[in-house]
Structures are given as structure tokens and as C-alpha cells.
Amino acid sequence: MALRKKLVIIGSGFAGFRLFKGISSADYDVTIISRRNHFLFTPLLTSTTVGTLEFRSITEPLRDSAGKKEVLVANVCSIDFPKKQVHVNIRTTQKAIRYDTLVIAVGAKTNTFSIPGVEEHCLFLKELADARSVRQKIVDCLEQAALPEQSDEEIRRLTNFVVIGGGPTGVEFAAELHDFLTQDLKRLYPSVAQFVQITLVEASPRILGSFSGELGEYATRLFRKRNIKLLTNSFVNEVTDSHVRLSGGESIACNLKVWTAGIAPRSLLTKLGITLDSSGHIVVDEYLKVPSLEHVYAMGDCAQIDGKPLPATAQVAQQQGKYLADSLTHLAHHRTLTPFAFKNLGMLAYLGNSRALAEIGPIHWKGFTAWIFWRSVYLTKLVSIKNKVLVLFDWFKAKIFGRDVSRF
């Protein structure tokens, strides 16, 4: 029996995790390297920021899917391509991991566009720790605002929640926040309810620019009807501890600032010495292979197919992970490969108060029925039965008992 080749996967996002689950340990000796020991279902991450869902409900431990595959929780510091080694830091120890085939799926980081103060004073929404920080900050703002000695001006600053970025993540976070404020705030913090304001800042002419104009306008009308302040065509110049300053001269007094205004490639990619495109992504061919390297592939948000750019979405990453699992299996059995072909399954966005958007090809859907569809799709796409049961229970619990604002 021939020895199995060593397959190393870097990253446990949608692309890396789908490959990890889909590849057989009978064909490869598989190791996944990740900074975290779980897969995170990011489409529902915004729901955890206000307690609609609990954090563990949208995570799946890597070891639950491992079987005979190896999970290594470590930080990748460099890759030696000639020696076929991945160098990792495990706490204070450095180790070299040998590979025959390497797949880079490290995702992306939040893009701050080098705007002064963003890194220091804004919270992000990429990881579970980010959502936990946002949740704690919301509660802190409300607890401080509820103190008897606070002035009206300070209460208004503490309860003006600013979201920067009008894409799906920013809109869905604003929607979840609005649900919490309208459904639970009067019960939990009656003295500050009248002061609360949500402000959404977007540099483009409208929010949800990736959706059709019709659906984007529907979301705009809905938000304005709910008194969510929309500042479109507004660029952030600076963020301080207490204010967001815009290019038009406006200064927004606030305490919570959540930045969802874009993504950028991780700094690791610049250290690899391989071809990157103008945006800093790894350039791959139609088989997701890095052309200049032997048996090295890249996929997900960190890579772009040469001449065929794709959006940085979970469905692209997941389809690439499945494709590469099938392709590597074909290679192990000496079968012919076919190029990767992305199938656009559409876009969804939650708008709050049991309303959502769905755009699937020429079909545009909005309102309550779109919300039912939104919930159904994400429930079916959760990784395990455990996740599905926990999410259903969390939705039921929040509806019946309200959201939990305990701070730990």
C-alpha cells in the first residue's frame, strides 16, 4: 500500500473547514492549522452581539469533525516552499510542519484604510471574540447611561450606537441592535430608552450596494421608518474615544463604534514571497493552484482566480473548499480534474423585526416571507445537528424570555 501524502490546510474558515471535512483520511494524512480550535458560522455572528444567539450555538469544534485527521492550534509565522515546511508558533515553541500538498485558506482581516483612531477606538465583527467585545460594550454603555448622576448629554453620547459600513454585516448588526433596543430595552433600562439612537455611516450613495436598487431602497425606507439615522456618502476622517469625525465636518458623539467597512488580506501573505494581485490576494489559476509553486493551493478570501475575481463571501469559500476536496481526491486516484466554477446561490440580509431581503438571480424577495426563508436557509446550512438544535432553542428563548444582558 502506497504511503499517504501529507496534506496541510492553513485556516479553519468556510473554505478550510469544508476541505477538512470533505477530504478522506484514507487518501491523505491531513493536518489543519488554525489560530482557533473551532469553525465559526459567521453569517449568524451579528445575532450573538445582542444575545439573540449564544456564542457556542454557531461554533463547531474542529475535533468533532477530525476523525483520524490532526488538528493543530497554532499561529503560522512563515512558509518555506523549497523545503515544503510550514513554520508555526505554539505558545513559546516554534515547530516546522512538513507537507506534500499545502492549501492556504487564511481568510482576511478587517480593513481600517489607515484611518486615524479606527484600530484603537472601534470594535470589529470578524471573530467570536469581536462579537463578545461588542456585546459587553453595549451592556457597559447602557449600564453607565442608567447611572442616576448622568446628564442628558452624556446619556445621549453613551446610547448613540454608531455602525460604520452599510454592507450586509453593518446592516444586519444595526438590525439586530434595533431588535434588542425595541424589544428588550424598555424592560431592562427604562430610564434611558428615550435617548437611544442607532447611526449607520456608509461611504457609498446607498446601503447594501451589492443588492439590487429595489431591495436597497426597501432597506433604506425601513431603517428610516425605524428612526435609524442613515449617513450615506459620508467618509470617516478620524475616530476618537468619544467621537466619529466625518469628512463633511460633522462630529458624532458616541461611545460604541463598530467598524464593518471592508476587508483586507492578512499580513502573512506579504511574507510568503509569492505573486499577489494589486489588492494583496494570492493569485491562483482556475484549479485554485498557485502557478509558481508545486502542490500549493489557495482559496477563500485570501485568494483570487487570475482574471476572474469573485466576491469575498462564505458561499464562494465553501464552494471552493468542496471543489478542492473533490479535486485532491481525484488526484489521489489519478483522475482528470475540471476547473472551478462558482455557482451564485444568491444573497440574503436580515433587516430586523422579522423582515429580510433575498436576491436569488432574477427573484427579488423582501419582508416577512423573506425572513422565514432567511432563517430556514441558515438553519439548514449550520454544520451539525447540535448547532441546529441550539440555534432553534436560542431563537425560541429570546422570543419568549427576552435577551440576556448578563455581563461576565
Rounded Cα distance between 7 and 2, Å, is 15
Rounded Cα distance between 160 and 155, Å, is 8
Q: What is the pLDDT of residue 408?
A: 63
96 contacts 87 by C-beta, under 8 angstroms: yes
**Residue corresponding to grid cell 470578524:** 126
Amino acid at 99: Y
157: cell is: 453620547
**Residue 407 predicted with pLDDT over 80:** no
Question: What architecture (CATH level 2) is domain 5-35+74-110+263-332?
Answer: 3-Layer(bba) Sandwich (3.50)
**Would residue 354 be called left, alpha or beta, if left means φ above 0 and alpha means ψ between -120 and 50 degrees?**
left
Q: What is the pTM of this model?
A: 0.95
Provide, rounded to the nearest whole percent, the portion of the chain with pLDDT above 90: 96
Residue 348, H or E segment: strand 347-352
Residue-by-residue DSSP string for 101-136:
EEEE---EEE--TT-TTHHHH-B--SSHHHHHHHHH
Per-domain boundaries in the chain: 5-35+74-110+263-332, 118-261
Rounded Cα distance between 156 and 60, Å, is 39
Rounded Cα distance between 298 and 16, Å, is 10
pLDDT tens figures, 143-186 = 999 999 999 999 999 999 999 999 999 999 999 999 999 999 99
- Please give the C-alpha separations between residue 400 and each of 52, 178, 394, 396, in angstroms, as whole numbers: 11, 18, 10, 6
311: cell is: 466576491
CA neighbor of 79 nearest in space, from 88, 91, 68:
88
349: cell is: 440580509
**Residue 265 predicted with pLDDT over 70:** yes
User: Confidence band (pLDDT; 50, 70, 90) for 404?
Assistant: confident
Q: What is the pLDDT of residue 15?
A: 98
**Residue corresponding to grid cell 485532491:** 328
pLDDT tens figures, 105-126 = 999 999 999 999 999 999 999 9
Buried (b) or exposed (e) across 266-304, using 16+ Cβ within 10 A?
Answer: bebbeebebebeeeebbbbeebbbbeebebbbbbbbbbb
- CATH fold match for the domains 5-35+74-110+263-332 and 118-261: yes
Q: What is the pLDDT of residue 406?
A: 79
User: Confidence band (pLDDT; 50, 70, 90) for 2?
Assistant: low
327 contacts 285 by C-beta, under 8 angstroms: no
pLDDT tens figures, 216-243 = 999 999 999 999 999 999 999 999 999 9
- Please give the C-alpha separations between residue 89 and each of 20, 74, 289, 294, 339, in angstroms, as whole numbers: 21, 6, 26, 24, 35
Superfamily of domain 118-261: FAD/NAD(P)-binding domain (3.50.50.60)
Side-chain-side CA neighbours of 324 within 13 Å: the count stands at: 34
User: Confidence band (pLDDT; 50, 70, 90) for 1?
Assistant: very low
Q: What is the mean pLDDT of the chain?
A: 96
158 contacts 141 by C-beta, under 8 angstroms: yes
Q: What is the pLDDT of residue 280?
A: 94
21: cell is: 471535512
187 contacts 142 by C-beta, under 8 angstroms: no
Task: Estimate to the nearest angstrom the gap between the alpha carbon of 201 and the chain centroid.
Answer: 19
